Amino acid sequence: MSEPESVMDVVAETPIGKLAAKGVRVSDLIGLLTLLAVALGAYALYHHGEDAKNSTVAVTMSIEKQTQSNKEQAQGLRYMACIIAEDQKDRKTARDGCREQARLP
């Protein structure tokens, strides 16, 4: 003789209304809840992938901007150091050479 499957009554009350089911097998209820959990997990992973992609693009762009800023700052510092290294009377004539040394455009 086989054992009878577990059968239960399910009642869910919400502000919208009441949902009831009589004679639902526990295995069916567990399967339904598992399906809902897997679907919710897949949805969350899909959106997480999009958010991660957008975040990566934003971080890459900010790093590129920071790199460009650092290059410009280094050029300015090289130019300033070259000008300061010259004697006061020779600074006006040394400007072009210092621009080349600093790799300014």
Structure tokens at 7: 């059968």
Instruction: Decide if 48 is inside a domain.
Output: yes
| Percent of the chain residues topping a pLDDT of 70 | 83
Number of domains in the chain: 1
Full domain range(s) for residue 16: 7-102
Assigned domain for 97 exists: yes
Is residue 49 included in any domain, yes or no?
Answer: yes
Residue 86 inside a domain? The answer is yes
HSE-CB of 67 using CA atoms within 13 angstroms? 6
Answer whether residue 1 is part of any domain: no
> pLDDT tens for residues 32-79?
889 999 999 888 888 888 888 889 999 999 999 999 999 999 999 999
2 within domain boundaries: no
Instruction: Retrieve residue 82's tokens.
Output: 């070259």
